[in-house]
Structure 1
Amino acid sequence: MLLTKIKASIIGRPLKTEQLQEEKLPVWKALPILSSDALSSVAYGTEQILGVLVVAGAFALWYSLPISLAIVGLLTLLIISYRLIIDEYPGGGGAYIVSMDNLGWFAGSVAGASLLVDYILTVAVSVTAGTAAITSAFPILHDHRVAIACGFVLLIMVLNLRGLQESGTIFSVPTYLFIISIVMLVIVGSFKILFVDGGGTPPPITSHFPEGLTWFLLLRAFSSGCSALTGIEAISNATPTFRAPERKNAGRTLVILGILLAVLFGGISLLAYLYHLTPVLEETLISQIAEETFGRTAPYFFIQATTALILILAANTSYSGFPLLASIMAKDKMMPRMFTARGDRLNYSNGIIVLSLAAILLIIAFHGHTERLIPLYAIGVFTSFTLAQSGMVQRLLKRKPQGWKGRLAISLTGAIVTFIVLLIFAVTKFTEGAWIIIVILPVFVYMFSRIYKHYNAVADELRIDISAEKPQIKKQMIVLPVGGINQVVRNTVSYARSLDVDVVALYIAFDEEDAKRMKGKWNEWCPDIRLVIMRSRYRSVTRPLLRFIDKLPKYVGDRQVTVLIPQFIPRRWWHSLLHNKTALVIRFILLARKDIIVSTVPFHLKK
């Protein structure tokens, strides 16, 4: 009762199943929840490009502009492609469902693994990036970034356990404030450069490749900048969370996201170039741009605060996608069934908790460094992009609906471009950690296959022919382990007698005197039930019990043996910490035996 009250105070009162429709999201709430991941990548996408180009010197920084333009073009292509996926698959699941439906089990499992890894890394990357924004403004906190990041993950987990409506209301404000702050930064920064600084002095441009800049370095910068595209698939993955009409509302939200992302990302890239900025370890690029534009004044701290919030709360995108995808995959026998269960607040609470724990482990393992996580992050995203577009190509070629040629051109182009980006990532980021994802994805696929085979095997074994296989009656024999004579044993013996079957009590004695004393008491108290006493020189209870059970088949014949375990239940939960768990240990060990039935008779203490 106490735990129930504590739980209700943290995540809220349980909701009725009929209230599920009320938990669905309007566009204004869905945008901050499902787009915060993509929007937050504005804070580090340009920084990733410049971090690669700066190696080749100041002359190479100009190439950040055409690279950003190419990324915006790829963004437009993906927005159109995922708009088609929403129309075709309004049930959600994104790349997993598209791949499973059109490319087969293996492609579907790879897409599912990519998305699950993507969601986990989204939480880790977003929270560590948000923590970096805080430590940029307050450098004294830099050494505590891991603890701060883990604390934020736990906070977001609790907020999401409270349900979509509540988390949507809470997370919408920081997202809209971030959009306002970055739009303000781009407008004011551009105005300052053009009219206050007289157009500024952009870095020099050369007509040839600067020394040290190679095509490999350009491709590496492009692939790094493509981290700005992560998260745009979240809307198609979570289409069922929208209010009706789901397709229309999801499509509208996706288009709004595309426009916002193109404007914000392009604006930040332009300002970074015109301000001659490059990444530094202790300060983020957004922080540098804001300081150049406003100085360390109130607008600077407002931008830093909203950036930190959006980076941290961008993790909420995963809290919408991971649990839903895990539930879909669990229904397909690809993941444990526990992911299909809705919690008190009508969300998939098991998925939310597992996602949080996985993200915390990653943050600790990588010591809270965002740049170490992004190479892992993006390769999984583009794997799912490629499979989603390839699945749509296969679907359109097979069905050929009205207007299919135009859709095919879009999906085919998307598949080719995202596959090329995936290859670039795999090659350029291999030594930076991308190899981990290349190793992990096959492990996930193997795990899915084992789970799938297990569920099929269980289903085959449990399946019954109701016309031929009828319930059977078997003779019983009850073995009753006792540790003495008390009210718990009395309660269990009374129950055993009521079943009208053969009963034998078993007592484990540690010495001869103990055995004689128990035998005398038992004969006086319950002489009609036979007591077997076994001696244990090494004070073990389970070993003599197992030896006794092993010998039973010689004497009981075809009778079914049931071990009836007496157990008392303390009134207070903490009282159980004061007692031995002998009954639980016996039950745990005996459940592994195939030839017996194990049952517990509880006795509830009143004091």
Structure 2
Amino acid sequence: MVAKLKRIFIGRPMKSTELAEEKLTKLKALAVLSSDALSSVAYGTEQILIVLMAAGFSALWYSIPISLAVLGLLTVLVLSYRQTIYTYPTGGGAYIVAKENLGTPVGLVAGGSLLVDYILTVAVSSSAGTDAITSAFPELHDDRVLIALLMIAGLTLLNLRGITESASILALPVYLFVFAIFILIIGGTYRILTGSVPAAAPTYGLSVHGIGLFMLLKAFSSGCSALTGVEAVSNAIPNFKAPAEKNAARTLVMMGLILGAMFIGISLMAYYFGIAPDPKETVVSKIAEATFGRGFAYYAIQGVTALILFLAANTAFAAFPLLAFMLAKDKFMPHMFKVRGDRLGFSNGIIVLGIFSAILIILFEGDTENLIPLYAVGVFIPFTLSQAGMMKRWFTKKTAGWVLPFCINTLGMLTTLTITLIFIVTKFSQVWMVFLFLPAVIFIFLKINRHYQDIAQQLKLDIATEKPVVSGSVIVIPVAGITTVVSETIGYAKSLTNNVVAVYVGFDDESVEKMEQRWEEWNPGVRLIVLRSRYRSIIRPLVKFIDTVEWKRAATDHVTIMIPQFIVKKWWHHFLHNQTSLQIRAYLFARRDITIATVPYRLEK
């Protein structure tokens, strides 16, 4: 039943040789890896306006120079990550750059920040997508958490089907969104040029009381949330078709050009239309309504905006499993993240990402504004560390023409560091959890790594000198009666050794006498040890007997508890039996001095 459902929802298993077919072209990669960055134009300008509104409506003109500053930072980041792609073509982005140039601890900070950021990406994208839906249909506002959770579940299932399939599905809505935003910008520009703007824009350049450097920096840092997702291409280079690094670099440049044009266009439209932020309606929704009215064009734009914000989470679903794989390969995350699923994707990473992002949606009640500061801090920390790592690399190696890329990385590092500090200072009440969660993640990384090192040390074998030790064996078979499964277990045990005993635990004299009599009549060639239990416990007398066997056996003998167990045909049959064999196994599993084996007997009815 479960296997059939899995085939329906996930699809047929794919051969390992089909992995090359799962690589992405530039157009598909742009859809998968740029959807997060491109979708941020739906809320990037809005985050700037929310901060500026604290000084009044007339302060909204500051959004234009702030947007230009954000555009300048985008240019620096694109140039910087383009260098990273060619320098580290195996992917990994900030984690690999920081680890190799600044040391493993710094690399773990970058890697941990990126993992947290990807979880937040899914949460922010789904909650922002929900906001777009509830802007068009306000009656759904109270159901935003449920809508966001359904989005995450659908996207998790989509990615479990494989990266190529998800890319094919994503390509259309991503390019529809880009087309819709440019149509909106062109339509809005036409209305501005023809003088049919419905609202007066605040006077540009007007001095506004209450606007200071602190507020401008806060607005700039908030607007930089539009840059989240820029690093995803450099993290996922192995997902590209060959030549991977060249295709990744071109995809990054295409993403930067499209993102920059859309972001500055939305900012200009918001200013000229005099748009003020509203907690119940997005800025893009207001621009679309002012440009086209609440007709087909408006609902089409809102529809594709909601869809792209929902699908923007796919950037994280493409990058998180790959980064988790790299950390697991370095023994900082569980080995399960190295395993590819039926569809050749890192399924465990996809599932874990979906679960954690859903938890965040529930904790923050689907509030985008409260999630974005955490989201931005999570991405600007690796931005800064990646730039610093590349700076050190250029300065240390001093290859031909190193001065220009060194200057680019230095400018990027100083800018992203400044933004990170601004976020921490201005929004500490919203981002303080990062300073608890990130150290906890790094501590877990180090504990996992220590565990794997300890295991490697303990399991290390000198194949030149150490050989298997052959020793005797004592097999103890707990029995509850004389049945087919007991008979097969005894037969199997005797095929391994002649030193076999059966143990029966009785609760009263009548049952003990009956068992002894029947065993003597059956005579399977194995001695029966009968234990009496005054307190109706099977485990306690059995453990005492095992300890007795331990004293009597030779020092080199193995003690094996061989448990007869019948396997029921249907799942609900489990509830009709005591499952004593499972209880015995669970209790004895932690014992260091014995081996536990189960002999299954599968029932046919």
TM-score tier, shorter chain, comes to over 0.9
> What's the TM-score, normalizing by structure 2?
0.98
Question: In 2, distance between residues paired with 1:594 and 1:42?
Answer: 59
Residue correspondence of structure 1 range 165-564 to structure 2 within 5 A: 165-197=164-196, 201-205=200-204, 207-208=206-207, 210-432=208-430, 434-526=431-523, 528-558=525-555, 559-564=557-562
Aligned-pair CA distance for 1:31: 0.3
Contact 1:193/1:200 (<8 A) preserved? no
Report the CA distance between 1:197 and its aligned residue.
2.1
Work out the CA distance in 2 between the residues paired with 1:211 and 1:312. Answer: 39
* Structure 1 residue 144, shift from structure 2 partner: 1.0
Contact 1:383 1:419 in 2 (8 A): yes
SS at 1:504's partner residue?
A: strand
CA distance in 2 between counterparts of 1:201 and 1:525 reads: 100
What is the CA-CA distance between 1:516 and the residue it aligns to? 2.1
Note the C-alpha offset of 1:372. Answer: 1.2
Structure 1 residues 199 and 511, CA gap change in structure 2 (3 angstroms): closer
* DSSP-derived class of the 2:43 partner: helix
Q: Which amino acid aligns with 1:94?
A: G
In structure 2, how many angstroms separate the alpha carbons of the residues matched to 1:62 and 1:353? 44
CA distance in 2, matches of 1:68, 1:129: 20
Q: 1:289-338: CA deviations, max 9, x gaps?
A: 11011110100000000000000000000110000110111010010000
1:52 equivalent in structure 2: 51
Contact 1:163 1:345 in 2 (8 A): yes
Where does the alignment leave 5 or more consecutive residues of structure 1 unmatched?
none
Amino acid in the other structure paired with 1:127: S
User: Distance between the aligned counterparts of 2:467 and 2:205, measured in 1?
Assistant: 86
Question: By how many angstroms is 1:200 displaced?
Answer: 6.8
TM-superposed deviation, 1:411:
1.0
Quote how far apart the aligned CAs of 1:449 are: 0.3
Q: Could you tell me how far 1:55 is from its partner in structure 2?
A: 0.9
Inter-partner Cα distance in structure 1 for 2:517 and 2:537: 23
Tell me the amino acid that sits aligned with residue 470 of structure 1. K
Contact 2:40–2:228 (CA under 8 A) maintained in structure 1: yes
Q: CA deviation at 1:485?
A: 1.2
Deviates more, 1:400-409 or 1:347-356: 400-409
SS in 1 for 2:563: strand
Q: Percent identity?
A: 54
- Amino acid of the structure 1 residue aligned with 2:276: T
Give per-residue Cα distances to partners, 1:335-377, cap 9 Å, x unaligned: 0000000011110011000100011111111111111111111
For 1:247 and 1:480, how far apart are their aligned partners in 2? 61
Q: Pairwise mapping of residues 65-76 of structure 1 onto structure 2 (< 5 A)?
A: 65-76=64-75
2:90 equivalent in structure 1: 91
| Number of matched pairs | 604
Residues 313/199 of structure 1: CA separation in 2 closer, same or farther (3 Å cut): closer
Whole-angstrom CA distance in 1 between matches of 2:106 and 2:498 = 56
CA distance in 1, matches of 2:238, 2:577: 49
SS at match of 2:200: coil
CA distance in 1, matches of 2:498, 2:71: 78
Report how far residue 403 of structure 1 moved.
Answer: 1.1
Structure 2 distance, partners of 1:544, 1:284, is 70
2: CA distance between counterparts of 1:317 and 1:485? 60
CA distance in 2: counterparts of 1:526 and 1:423, whole angstroms: 81
C-alpha deviations, 1:274-293, integer Å up to 9, x for none?
11111111111111111011
Give the equivalent residue in structure 2 for 1:43: 42
Is the 2:31–2:170 Cα contact (8 Å) retained in structure 1? yes
Q: CA deviation at 1:572?
A: 3.1
Q: How big is each residue's C-alpha offset from its partner over 1:189-218, in whole Å with a ceiling of 9 and x where there is no partner? A: 01101214279732024553x222232221
Question: Gaps spanning 5+ residues in structure 2: where?
Answer: none
What is the CA–CA distance in structure 2 between the aligned matches of 1:258 and 1:54, rounded to whole Å? 28
The answer to which of 113-122 and 568-577 deviates more is 568-577
Distance of 2:524 and 2:14 partners within structure 1: 55
Query: Could you say what secondary structure the match of 1:346 adopts?
Result: coil
Rounded Cα–Cα distance in structure 2 between residues aligned with 1:577 and 1:162:
34
Question: Shift of residue 4 of structure 1?
Answer: 2.1
2:54 corresponds to 1:17: no
Partners of 2:59 and 2:202 within 8 A in 1: no
Change (3 A) 1:527 1:255: closer
The one-character-per-residue Cα deviations of 1:379-411 (angstroms, maximum 9, x if unpaired) are 010001011111111111222222111111111
SS of aligned partner of 1:41: helix
Aligned counterparts of 1:493 and 1:279: Cα–Cα separation in 2: 77
The code of the aligned residue for 1:289 comes to: I
User: Which whole-Å CA distance do the structure 2 matches of 1:335 and 1:526 have between them?
Assistant: 54
How far apart, CA to CA, are the structure 1 residues paired with 2:546 and 2:532? 15
Q: Distance in 2 between matches of 1:27 and 1:85?
A: 18
Map Cα deviations across residues 158-203 of structure 1 (whole Å, 9 max, x no partner): 1111111111010111100000000000111011012142797320
Q: What is the aligned partner in structure 2 of residue 116 from structure 1?
A: 115
In structure 2, what is the Cα distance between the partners aligned to 1:579 and 1:11?
Answer: 34
Q: Shift of the alpha carbon at 1:512?
A: 2.6
Of 121-130 and 539-548, deviating more is: 539-548
The partner residue of 2:566 within 565, 568, 571 is 568
Give the TM-score normalised by structure 1: 0.97
- Please, which moves more after superposition, 231-240 or 394-403? 394-403
How many angstroms apart in 2 are the aligned matches of 1:536 and 1:60?
84
Which secondary structure state, in structure 1, belongs to the residue aligned with residue 517 of structure 2?
helix
